[in-house]
Amino acid sequence: MIRTFYRILVATLALGATLTLSQSVALADDMLTFIGPTPGLSLGGEYTSPYVFNINTVSTPVLLACDDFYSNISDGDYWTASLIPLAHAGEANKGKFNLQANAQDEYNMAGWLAQQVMSTWSSNPTLSEQYSWAIWEIFAVGTPGGGTDIASANLGTVDYDAVLNLIFNANSAVQGGADLRNVYVYTPVLPPDGLASGPNNRTPHPAQEFFFVPEASTPAFLVFNLLALPGILFLLRRRCLRG
């Protein structure tokens, strides 16, 4: 009897996970609304990834990793974005930074770093912040009008060295065939729709680009698994034993 209950529970959770992830990917291709940064994550005077968003009209928060250091957004800003697989982000008219030299290599490295952000932000905040700066550094160096070593300009020696090491690790991982199939890019659509609107002086301004890692980007689902599941198993076990 106990095994029967567990099998039903596991099957239900697996189905729920599949539907949740499928829905997230399917819905995340129109309107992004910025809710705010993840509390407590800041390094070098900047809030770091992941950031909290609502996608379209779905109110379930989603976590995204930012790759754009030079565009500023505020809580409540919203804009239209296209969801594209990471493997196509470096192609013409795809990702926001597709004109940079070796754009696809840069996107792949940043995509790997985004995976690490999502897997470390709650367990190792400092490392997560360094991963976030590594993503910014990859794209900022080649940005027209920017082109500066932002990590060197904003971080102390220890954090700067860590960022450089993480970029090296990202390149090694990508060259070694890292699995990046679960990484997507939310890139603003071409102007004028690519401008964000909202509380930021109430005027349109450049929108940011973000990485989306579906299975690591739905906090509500993760909370359910980490907090609610043990309680459900405990209650089911008690009921089975009593029976």
CA dist., res. 143 & res. 150, Å (int):
11
What pLDDT, on a 0 to 100 scale, did the predictor assign at position 221?
44
What pLDDT, on a 0 to 100 scale, did the predictor assign at position 195?
85
Range of the domain at 23: 2-242
Could you tell me the two tokens for 152?
Answer: 């060197």
**For the chain, what's the residue count?**
243
Question: Residue 82: pLDDT band by 50, 70, 90 thresholds?
Answer: very high
Residue with token string 């957004």: 73
**Best CA proximity match to 110, nearest among 80, 128, 132:** 132
| Domain count of the fold of the chain | 1
Determine contact, residues 24/62, Cβ cutoff 8 Å.
yes
CA dist., res. 199 & res. 195, Å (int):
13
Give tens-digit pLDDT for 168-211: 999 999 999 999 999 999 999 877 778 888 776 667 788 899 99
Name the strand (E) or helix (H) holding 111. helix 103-120
Name the strand (E) or helix (H) holding 21. helix 2-27
The 3-state secondary structure of 201-216 reads CCCCEECCCEEECHHH
Q: Could you tell me the pTM of the whole model?
A: 0.77
Question: Residue 87: pLDDT band by 50, 70, 90 thresholds?
Answer: very high
Q: Are strands 195-196 and 210-212 parallel, antiparallel or unpaired?
A: unpaired
Determine contact, residues 127/222, Cβ cutoff 8 Å.
no
Virtual torsion, Cα 129, 134, 173, 214, nearest 10 deg:
60
What pLDDT, on a 0 to 100 scale, did the predictor assign at position 54?
93
Does position 53 have pLDDT exceeding 90, yes or no?
yes
Determine contact, residues 18/101, Cβ cutoff 8 Å.
no
**What 3-state class would DSSP assign to 59?**
strand
Question: Residue 147: pLDDT band by 50, 70, 90 thresholds?
Answer: low
